[in-house]
Homo-oligomer: A and B are copies of this chain.
Amino acid sequence: MNICDLRMSLQVDTVGREMYQFISDLYPICRSITGNGFRETLHNIQRHMPLEIHEIATGSQVFDWTVPKEWNIRDAYVKNSRGERIIDFRKSNLHVVNYSVPIRKKMSLSELKEHLFTLPDHPDWIPYRTSYYKESWGFCLSHKQWSALEDEEYEVYIDASLENGHLTYGECYFQGNELNEVLISCHACHPSLCNDNLSGIALAVFLAKYLHSLPLRYSYRFLFIPGTIGSITWLCLNEHQVSKIKHGLVLANVGDSGSSTYKKSRRSDAEIDRAAIHVLKHCGEDYEIVDFSPYGYDERQFCSPAFNLPVGCLMRTPHGCFPEYHTSADNLDLVQPSYLANSFLKCLSVLSVLENNLTYINKNPKCEPQLGKRGLYRAIGGPEGDVDELAMLWVLNLSDGSHSLLDIATQSGYPFEMIQRAANVLQEHSLLKEQSL
Contacts and interface: CB of A to CB of B under 8 A. Distances in A.
Interface stretch (A175-183, A254-262, A275-283, A300-308): A300-308
Task: Please indicate which of the listed interface residues A131, A133, A301, A398 has the most CB atoms of chain B within 10 Å of its own CB.
Answer: A133
B393 A295 contact: yes
A379 B130 contact: no
Interface string A76-109: 0000000000000000000001000000000000
B383 A320 contact: yes
A304 B367 contact: yes
A64 B370 contact: yes
Nearest to A301: B367
A112 interface: no
User: 7 closest Cβ contacts across the A-B interface?
Assistant: A306-B365, A294-B397, A305-B400, A294-B393, A64-B369, A133-B372, A305-B365
A57 interface: no
A129 to B, nearest CB: 6
30 contacts: A63-B366, A64-B364, A64-B368, A127-B383, A129-B381, A130-B380, A131-B379, A131-B380, A132-B381, A133-B370, A133-B377, A134-B372, A134-B380, A232-B367, A235-B367, A239-B366, A266-B397, A293-B390, A294-B394, A294-B396, A295-B390, A300-B368, A301-B368, A304-B367, A304-B368, A305-B396, A305-B397, A307-B366, A307-B367, A326-B383
Interface string A117-160: 10000000001011111101010000000000000000000000
Interface in A316-371: 320, 325-326, 362, 364-370
Stoichiometry (number of copies)? 3
Interface in A229-243: 231-232, 235-236, 239
A284 interface: no
B305 A362 contact: yes
B385 A320 contact: yes
A118 to B, nearest CB: 11
Nearest to A292: B397
A127 B380 CA distance: 12
